[in-house]
Amino acid sequence: MASNWLNKVGSVIPRGFSRHYVLTSIREAPMSGKEIIDKAISESGGIWKPSPGLIYPLLGD
C-alpha cells in the first residue's frame, strides 16, 4: 500500500496519511504499534520511519 503511494509522491508524507495508514493496517490484521512501525518501514523501503510518538497516540484514539 505505502510503496505504491510513495512511488507517486516521493518522500513527502501528507497530513492525515499516518492516521489512514494505521487504520488501514489494523483493519487488515490486529497488530501492535511496533508491528505497524516495522510494516511502514518495510513497505516504504526505509523512506518512511514513523516514530512511536506518532503511531501510539493514533492507536489510543
Separation between Cα atoms, residue 25 and residue 10, nearest integer Å? 21
Cell matching residue 16? 492525515
Predicted confidence at residue 41, as pLDDT, reads 94
Q: Answer whether 39's CB lies under 8 Å from 16's CB.
A: no
Predicted confidence at residue 28, as pLDDT, reads 94
Predicted confidence at residue 5, as pLDDT, reads 58
Domain ranges of the chain: 15-60
Separation between Cα atoms, residue 6 and residue 31, nearest integer Å? 22
pLDDT above 80: residue 37:
yes
